[in-house]
Amino acid sequence: MNPTTDAARTEHLVTTMSERMTTLTRTLSSWMQEQEHSLADVEHHVVRLLKELGASLVAGLCSLAAAAQPSPSVSCSCGHQAAYQRERKAQVTTLLGPISIWRSYYLCAACAQGQHPLDAQLQFCAGSRSAALDELLALLGATQDSFVQATTVLERLTLVHVSANSVRDATEHLGVLLLEQQPQPQSERAPRLSARATSTASPRRLYITMDGVLAHLHERGWSELKVGCCYHTRSRVDRKRPERLEIRAQSASYVTALEEARAFGWRLWQEALRRGLLSSEEVVVLGDGAHWIWNIAEQHFPRAIQIVDWYHASEYLWNAASAIWGEASSKRGEWAHDQLDLLWEGKVCEVLSELETWRERGEAVLAALSYYTEHQTRMDYASYRARGLQIGSGSAESACKQLVSARLKQAGMIWDASGAEAVAVVRAWLLSERWEEAIALRGVRRRGYRRKQVEVEQPRSEGRGQTGEQQSVVVERQAEGSRQALSAEVLAQVQAELAQGRGKNGWGRAWRVQRQRQLAAQTEERSQAIAA
Ligand SMILES: [Zn+2]
């Protein structure tokens, strides 16, 4: 007899799962007693069997989410009613491997659109991967050396096998979604609104640094991905040289994109706003000599202190020293150190005069002259040091390595432009410690989270529909949330959904596969009778 009440269906699932667990334990016990096994053998064996059991439990719980008796019709987006047709099976690959879910299929006679309400409720796509598995794939796809390696790691960790293309797809899909989260050049008003709310701490000093790094692309050859980094610093006295301050970057966050400087400027500006640009007492822009960096600084951070990276500036002097004295000469080092001392003391004019006297010694001297002339106002290192400012753009270079080089520049790698950008963006969110936020945004974008979120915000509201105003509340909330607030919000949302799920659908309002098949057969019989 098929259980038809919620309680009976729950009880049926409990009994089935308990029986399977009992059988499993008995089988394992006799397997253990038959011959000797190592702990590793036992672990692997148990994990594999528990995974299979877990997959059955997930499928069973999903079937409980459906109504015991499918309603004869549901609303269609066209405004008409879609009529119940039959039960259909969906395959989904989950964290516990592939599972099958039976669900009701409805068809609208007016617009010929079909739908499976349970798919929307459980937020999955038939024939695809679950959101939880996709999250893991994106994480591995962005952090392992290659998509193929990611499949190996996944299989070792979860015993689930997927193709390298599935990893690529999940990673790039998340990357594209995250890129869309960042501002478009035209949307001047929106960032400003959200900026006020997203400034979390009010740091005294905000550092902004940027750089470019090349990746090999199919369509365009070697192309530059731009990388930006916003951070605060922490200073302490250098142990080895107590006269010096050791200034370290902390709480760095990153943006990256394969785009022109103009668009990238807006993107970085938005990130700086999120990091408290408007509430910072001081803003420092650090970079090498690339023109686009200083154009962005002028346009988006006009009140910032501009500092040319100390190490790039030094490099020009060393190159000039080689041109003047020759690589092997001991004079080379002596001269360079003298000039570096002047530079360290902020005496750029004296360095320039010295370089001027060696002008005829060729390209390297001319390059140094031009660099020092152009960036003279960004090289007041003595004053920067006196104020405790960082003078090296190491954070930008390390960002380039971490976001791009470490993953996109493995031997022989050539990327599609969109894939390279997407993977770098996923890494940027991960390294900015915004993974949870990224995954939450993905959920919000994809499916019916919005309505539920409104209900979390307004727990007393009984209305099921969502007004435009409510929608804008949600959108504002999303934009406003600081990292901490957002995590709290996500947690509250999940808790509320769980609570709601219990009340509204009840894990206990499930129905069994046999029952569904029976209903499907009855419908078929009916339609055959009509046809006859
Ligand atoms: Zn319709």
Which tokens go with 450?
């919005």
* Distance from Cα 104 to the centre of ligand 1, integer Å: 16
* Distance from Cα 198 to the centre of ligand 1, integer Å: 41
How many whole angstroms separate alpha carbon 348 and alpha carbon 378? 10
* Distance from Cα 83 to the centre of ligand 1, integer Å: 10
DSSP state at residue 136: H
pTM above 0.95, yes or no: no
Instruction: Tell me if 100 sits within 8 A of 126, measured CB to CB.
Output: no
* Distance from Cα 109 to the centre of ligand 1, integer Å: 7
Q: Any residues with CB less than 8 A from the CB of 328 and at least 6 apart, and which? A: none
* Distance from Cα 75 to the centre of ligand 1, integer Å: 8
* Distance from Cα 194 to the centre of ligand 1, integer Å: 37
* Distance from Cα 85 to the centre of ligand 1, integer Å: 14
* Distance from Cα 164 to the centre of ligand 1, integer Å: 38
Residue where the block lists tokens 């011959």: 35
How many whole angstroms separate alpha carbon 110 and alpha carbon 102? 25
Instruction: Tell me if 6 sits within 8 A of 68, measured CB to CB.
Output: yes
* Distance from Cα 210 to the centre of ligand 1, integer Å: 51
* Distance from Cα 501 to the centre of ligand 1, integer Å: 27
* Distance from Cα 78 to the centre of ligand 1, integer Å: 4
* Distance from Cα 352 to the centre of ligand 1, integer Å: 76
* Distance from Cα 443 to the centre of ligand 1, integer Å: 26
* Distance from Cα 110 to the centre of ligand 1, integer Å: 5
* Distance from Cα 80 to the centre of ligand 1, integer Å: 5
Which tokens go with 446?
């994809």
* Distance from Cα 530 to the centre of ligand 1, integer Å: 23
Instruction: Tell me if 286 sits within 8 A of 293, measured CB to CB.
Output: no
3-state secondary structure of 128: strand
* Distance from Cα 76 to the centre of ligand 1, integer Å: 5
* Distance from Cα 503 to the centre of ligand 1, integer Å: 29
Tell me the Ramachandran region of residue 251: left when phi exceeds 0, alpha when psi lies from -120 to 50, beta otherwise: left
Q: Where are the alpha helices (DSSP H) in 65-212?
A: 117-122, 131-143, 147-158, 164-181, 189-198
* Distance from Cα 345 to the centre of ligand 1, integer Å: 75
* Distance from Cα 271 to the centre of ligand 1, integer Å: 42
* Distance from Cα 199 to the centre of ligand 1, integer Å: 45
* Distance from Cα 310 to the centre of ligand 1, integer Å: 65
How many whole angstroms separate alpha carbon 481 and alpha carbon 274? 10
The angle that helices 417-431 and 435-446 make with each other, rounded to 10 degrees, is 120
* Distance from Cα 108 to the centre of ligand 1, integer Å: 5
* Distance from Cα 462 to the centre of ligand 1, integer Å: 26
CA 431-432-435 angle, to 5 degrees, is: 80
How many whole angstroms separate alpha carbon 309 and alpha carbon 314? 9
Question: pLDDT at position 244, please?
Answer: 73
Instruction: Tell me if 435 sits within 8 A of 429, measured CB to CB.
Output: yes
* Distance from Cα 500 to the centre of ligand 1, integer Å: 28
* Distance from Cα 49 to the centre of ligand 1, integer Å: 44
* Distance from Cα 233 to the centre of ligand 1, integer Å: 58
Per residue in 71-103, is it b (16+ CB within 10 Å) or e — as a string? Answer: eeebebeeeeebebbbbbebebbbbbbebebbb
* Distance from Cα 502 to the centre of ligand 1, integer Å: 30
Residue type at position 268: L
Residue of 419, 466, 460, 493 whose CA lies nearest to 216:
419
How many whole angstroms separate alpha carbon 311 and alpha carbon 315? 6
CA 159-121-58 angle, to 5 degrees, is: 30
DSSP for 195-236, written as a single string: HHHH--S--SEEEEEEEEEEEEETTTEEEEEEEEEEEEEEEE
Question: pLDDT at position 251, please?
Answer: 87
* Distance from Cα 114 to the centre of ligand 1, integer Å: 8
* Distance from Cα 512 to the centre of ligand 1, integer Å: 28
* Distance from Cα 86 to the centre of ligand 1, integer Å: 17
* Distance from Cα 453 to the centre of ligand 1, integer Å: 26
* Distance from Cα 74 to the centre of ligand 1, integer Å: 10
Residue of 104, 107, 105, 112 whose CA lies nearest to 82:
107
* Distance from Cα 107 to the centre of ligand 1, integer Å: 8
Ligand 1 ion: residues within 5 Å (CB): 76, 78, 80, 108, 110-111, 113
Sequential pLDDT tens for the chain (532 residues): 566 778 888 999 999 999 999 999 999 999 999 999 999 999 999 999 999 999 999 999 998 988 888 899 999 999 999 999 999 999 999 999 999 999 999 999 999 999 999 999 998 989 999 999 999 999 999 999 999 999 999 999 999 999 999 999 999 999 999 988 765 544 443 344 343 334 444 458 999 999 998 989 988 899 999 999 999 988 887 778 777 778 888 889 999 999 999 999 999 999 999 998 998 999 999 999 899 999 999 999 999 999 999 999 999 999 999 988 888 888 999 999 999 999 999 899 999 999 989 888 888 899 999 999 999 999 999 999 888 898 887 887 888 888 888 888 888 888 888 889 999 999 999 999 999 989 988 754 333 322 233 222 233 232 233 333 333 333 333 333 333 344 444 445 434 544 443 333 323 223 333 444 555 566 556 555 554 4
* Distance from Cα 105 to the centre of ligand 1, integer Å: 13
Neighbouring C-beta atoms of residue 146, cutoff 10 Å: 15
Question: pLDDT at position 429, please?
Answer: 93
